[in-house]
Amino acid sequence: MTMPPLGGPSPSAQDRSLPNSSANRRRWMGLGLSLVVVIAVVIGLVVWKANHGPGAGTATPADDGVDRTVGLLREKDPVCDEWIVVSNKLASNEEKWAASNRGVPATAWSPEQRAIFSQVSEAMVMAADQYEAMLPKARDVVIQELIAQTIVYLRSYVERVPNYVESDGLIAGVAGNFGTAVTYMCSVVPLLPATNNGELRTRSLVPEPAALRPFLADGDPACTKFVELIDRQRSQLRGWAATDSTIPAAKWTPSQRALNNAAREVIMRDAAGVRAIAESAKSSIMADLLVTRAEYMQLFADRIPAYTQDDALLWTTVTSLGGGLTAACKAVL
């Protein structure tokens, strides 16, 4: 099945429609892993109704009782509505930047390119400040971690802009993919089963999940194994990645079903592999994010036999988490 890239979706390819869009040719975006992973925040994936989950008025500060279990986000977090509003605005402000040639270093910018980077820097600073203001409202530990790291890497990218070189795009890639992961985790809550059916839940060991410090400032031994797994998976799923994700399982041909079943085996195997890598991680935040990625991988694999188009959003959650982790492993702060 055509999947968003394992390094995270790019702005030019990102599907910005609602999960229930009537568009009949939504493509998953190929499994390429780019060195420069770019910001991609989905616009308006879900319009939450006032009676769906806790509203903003019932938000509880994270330090008053954050849920420290790691894995699937089964209930809408209090920050979800506000997060999507701010992220939509940031995505709009990034359009010219996303369409520009980010391979050109600052020393060779034209006046127009310099103006584009200056404008997007201002937008990123504003968004980071707004994300920081909403961060204490988050009750899910992984959502806290993702928002905090989005803030850290957005600000780090902005600091690099005056002397920008292409490799700095990896820093933006961490922020962009982790931000996208928050959006999708919020958006796919209605797709998740109401109960955990006895799944094992991991408790976070991160003492300060909302701390505004880079989680991989000194690297991590888990990075090499994780990047190797991503590269292998990309190769093994290449044929599946080229197929049309809009076709539900009920309409698959025998060959399509066989291909999807084979992909399912790869994804289930790799979900177990990601969990094993999490156990070797030095960074507790990296361990949490790897475990979370593994759970969304397993959930997506479980949905393949009865796949519908909306299930593609689960895989995009997987690729966004993977894109952020891969970029963080390669970025130099």
User: 211-224 pLDDT, tens per residue?
Assistant: 999 999 888 999 99
Which 3 state secondary structure label does DSSP give 203? strand
By the 8 A CB rule, do 9 and 36 touch? no
CB neighbour list of residue 208: distance below 8 Å, 6 or more residues apart? none
What's the distance, CA 198 to chain centroid?
A: 26
Question: Rounded CA gap, 147 and 155, in Å?
Answer: 12
**296-323 tens-digit pLDDT:** 999 999 999 999 999 999 999 999 999 9
Question: Rounded CA gap, 224 and 299, in Å?
Answer: 25
pLDDT tier at 87, thresholds 50, 70, 90: very high
Instruction: List the domain boundaries for the chain.
Output: 56-330
Average pLDDT over residues 71-97: 97
**235-292 tens-digit pLDDT:** 999 999 888 999 999 999 999 999 999 999 999 999 999 999 999 999 999 999 999 9
The reported pTM is 0.83
By the 8 A CB rule, do 291 and 70 touch? yes
> Which pLDDT does position 51 carry in this prediction?
31
Buried b (16+ CB within 10 A) or exposed e, 231-251: eebbebbeebbebebbbeeee
User: Closest Cα to residue 310, out of 188, 177, 195?
Assistant: 188
Tokens of 196: 């955990």
User: Closest Cα to residue 217, out of 301, 51, 329, 136?
Assistant: 329
Question: Rounded CA gap, 223 and 226, in Å?
Answer: 5
**Alpha helix locations (H) across 110-218?**
111-134, 141-160, 169-187
By the 8 A CB rule, do 77 and 61 touch? no
